[in-house]
Structure 1
């Protein structure tokens, strides 16, 4: 069995040899950020968007990336060459760094870049997914942090409600799932996604930036009731592209099937991905 190569700070090493000290703030306090993108046939998808978000998250979390964006791209290119995984997921992680008192933020952080094989969806997954809502607002929501404590803690709750994933809502306004952005299609045909206090996903961004479409794409607050009355719903993420949401809280959305608007947006997205 082959062992993948990873990049740790300033060197390429086998993943079995990559390690951090226990004093790292990512271990002691869960402090750090990451970003994740996929490659298809050896080509990174929306790489510039992911790198820009990675640097933005680092800045807002008061973390320093030693490499420039151009240098980071060079590291990623070499990592891909070493591992030879055409269809893959690449994760860039920046930890809080080594802290003597497990609290004070140091000036130097640890950069880890890993690559693993990834199965890429070949078409719209008609079977869709089901969600259950839970009242919660993620802290530091606009940054892609390492903190997924609530999402993991809620896994028994999700199973009890026979759902695939949780959908956060706060003050009765819909936000996001732990790993994806959420959209509805209203009965009037408006395609809506939450605007504030969410992580702005890269797939979400590229859908909102679609040009020359007949769709009204909107960022705004929308309520749980508006969701229940929507004609369609879907989530977006790097690994899933667009995935139809068929039920929320046990209630069918629309006719309980993948909708036409969802399918059309999926096709338009695939054209951008190439």
Structure 2
């Protein structure tokens, strides 16, 4: 069955789904996006994703083509039309299309596109074995709390990680502090039983999966220390993992080639992943 996409009010076969070369998302990266997981044919953590989308739009002074409620309805219909059981819905909203000028017209009609993508989330081989990450300098702009389509720095980071034989990248400041994963929230578990991840600020993107996870950790008697942590502290951690809509909770077994803990997915990370999947399916 041909995949169906959504473009500015219309559901179209993917190969017919197009936007103008004058779209400001293409010319200036003047746009935002969201990725929402789909499990058992249902959207996961949608209220969090819609709230973050709305916030990102407001932060850059951009009008969305539809209300968050209408966007959620479109996403659900797109999942149904594509008969998607497991995977993600990608959404991109831009300021619109017009002749190239840094200053947009005030009445410009915004662009809204969405498509689905099949992806193994629950029975992921990477979740069973864990992944290695490489640390890469964080060269992104200062407003990382906005989910911008300006992702060149993340692309370069993941390329560098792949060249080093790792499966993902952690972005690091000049002072050696981890900000986040190239497309995820970074976490460590200390030997005194505390989860550590950065608090919300302009430095990192607020993760929807991480926010949901934060509501679940109490079931394991864990507390979260919201603060920065260094690469050295991460190397000395008991466990480490990433959280993201496109991978859920993903164990990290090595950083820059050095094993974390015993070099295998840790029991706490494994249980947190199970708890999150249970939450997602509810």
The verdict on a shared fold, with TM-score over 0.5 as the criterion, is: yes
**Which deviations, in whole Å up to 9, do the C-alpha atoms of 1:72-119 show, x marking residues without a partner?**
222222222322222231111102311323422343210001112222
Q: Which moved more, 1:17-26 or 1:72-81?
A: 72-81
What is the count of residue pairs matched by the alignment? 273
- Listed as ranges, the matches of 1:66-215 within 5 Å are 66-106=65-105, 107-122=108-123, 125-139=127-141, 140-170=143-173, 171-195=175-199, 196=201, 197-210=203-216, 211-215=218-222
Alpha-carbon separation, structure 2, partners of 1:116 and 1:224: 33
**Which deviations, in whole Å up to 9, do the C-alpha atoms of 1:217-254 show, x marking residues without a partner?**
12111112211111110111112111111111121111
What's 1:224 paired with? 231
Deviation of 1:137 after TM superposition, in Å, equals: 4.8
So what's the TM-score if we normalise by structure 1?
0.93
What's 2:250 paired with? 243
Q: Is the 8 A contact 1:29 1:102 kept in 2?
A: no
What is the aligned-residue RMSD (CA, Å)?
1.8
Alpha-carbon separation, structure 1, partners of 2:77 and 2:265: 40
- Describe the shift of the 1:5–1:156 C-alpha distance in structure 2 as closer, same or farther (beyond 3 A): closer
Describe the SS at the equivalent of 1:7. strand
Describe the SS at the equivalent of 1:187. coil
Alpha-carbon separation, structure 2, partners of 1:180 and 1:254: 21
Alpha-carbon separation, structure 2, partners of 1:271 and 1:250: 32
> Which ranges of structure 2 fall in alignment gaps of 5 or more residues?
none
Alpha-carbon separation, structure 2, partners of 1:86 and 1:79: 12
